[in-house]
Amino acid sequence: MNQRPVKVAVLGQGYVGLPLAILATEAGHQVVGYDPDEVRVASLTEGRSYVEDVSDVRLAAALLKGYKASTQPTVLSNFDVAVITVPTPLTEGVPDLSFVLAATDTVADFLRPGRLVVLESTTYPGTTEELLGPSLESRTGLVAGIDFHLAYSPERIDPGNPQFNLANTPKLVAGITTQSLSMALDFYSSIIEKVVPVSRPREAELAKLIENTFRHVNIALVNEIAMFAHDLGVDIWEALDSASTKPFGFMRFNPGPGVGGHCLPIDPSYLSWHVQKSLGQKFRFVELANDINDHMPAYVVQRLMEGLNERQVPLRGSKVMLVGLTYKPNTSDLRESPGLQIANRLDALGADLLYVDSHVPLTTQIECVSLSAETIADMDAVVILTDHDDVDYRLIEQCARYVLDTRRRCYGPQVERL
């Protein structure tokens, strides 16, 4: 660590806040994680991590070094740096900043002159300067940029990514003044390999939304092509392999059963909402991408019905195994997962469902099984929705009568792909 240790309060101990709190502890800072969720805090206090990127071993070491999770706001007292990493969902299609505002109020109660407040939650341009700053000012009587410092630094964490983690992914940092920027750069460069200064928070806020909108739109593009390609009798996967041999001007995205998680189904709509509200204009790309990606779970169900129909099996009463319920491989994150939507549709249509997903806690309504030759052979269909690495795809190929594979992990005459 190249800066002096400070007291860091991280508000929100989820997929973003917990890895940050642990990394800051490892770098020598005194860290408290404030989260009103009693179950999460109890789990952390007992040394059980619910975020894949933080192992129980790392959590135990952090606890020994003084990291403390708490539901009590008083743990924030005397903080030097407060980082807000709370959810920014859509409520009835509209950005819901109530969590950010609640966390801001908590910070305000303990904010003292000279301290730094950073927002990391994904949000529309202007939030830090127009919402967070005034909110802190009105609660404390202190002036943002003069009495206390304020910054925005979007999170780029990619849960389950074996190559890029919080420490080695470049981090954008923007302050509302030069001094706010300098303090935020000091803090983040003590824990992250490369920090990238941005001149104002609104550009950093937009940068994060550009990253996620880019991904959302490109996944929608390839999903739409996949649906056409199937009807045209063209193998989309081989076409993508072929296009990917171009060494410039092309970036590969793969089709899938839809998009999930806290980012893609939500963040682009923050931008389209903001554009509509501020400019009265529609962000047409986002609307189209939402439309296509939202349709994918229904498309997968339709393809399954067609595949079963060809095998003279009605969907109602058929035995269907869903492989991978989370929205992306090697994580336990079920939020907005298209797998759940597909399961609900199939259940409503009368399919007899089982699922295989070692990452998902056993709290879903569908029966969870471990993969075995007998269970696979007993199924009318196996549907690969998310391709976790711990699944034996060769066993599925060998034993299944019919596989609908949305991720291209299986091969063979009984396998149909998206």
Ligand X SMILES: NC(=O)c1ccc[n+]([C@@H]2O[C@H](COP(=O)([O-])OP(=O)(O)OC[C@H]3O[C@@H](n4cnc5c(N)ncnc54)[C@H](O)[C@@H]3O)[C@@H](O)[C@H]2O)c1
* Residues making contact with ligand X (CB under 6 A): 11-17, 34-37, 40, 85-88, 99, 102-103, 106, 121-122, 155, 157, 159, 262-263
Q: Tokens at residue 383, please?
A: 């549907």
The whole-angstrom separation of Cα 359 and Cα 175 is 38
Least CB distance from residue 73 to ligand X, whole Å?
8
Burial of 86 (0-12, 13-18, 19+ CB in 10 A): buried
| Residue whose CB is less far from ligand X, 156 or 345 | 156
Least CB distance from residue 380 to ligand X, whole Å?
35
Least CB distance from residue 412 to ligand X, whole Å?
34
Residue 263 a catalytic site member: yes
Secondary structure (3-state) at 375: helix
The active-site residue out of 263, 368, 399, 410 is 263
Least CB distance from residue 195 to ligand X, whole Å?
16
| Residue whose CB is less far from ligand X, 87 or 307 | 87
Q: Which residue is nearest to ligand X (CB)?
A: 14
The whole-angstrom separation of Cα 370 and Cα 392 is 11
| Residue whose CB is less far from ligand X, 11 or 32 | 11
| Residue whose CB is less far from ligand X, 35 or 224 | 35
Strand partners, 315: none
Secondary structure (3-state) at 293: helix
Q: Backbone dihedral region of 126: left (phi > 0), alpha (psi from -120 to 50 degrees) or beta?
A: left
Burial of 275 (0-12, 13-18, 19+ CB in 10 A): middle
Whole-angstrom CA distances from 272 to 123, 264, 265, 282, 364 are 11, 13, 12, 7, 33
Neighbouring residues of 138: CB distance < 8 A, sequence distance ≥ 6: none
| Residue whose CB is less far from ligand X, 41 or 403 | 41
The whole-angstrom separation of Cα 120 and Cα 127 is 11
Least CB distance from residue 369 to ligand X, whole Å?
28
* Catalytic positions: 263
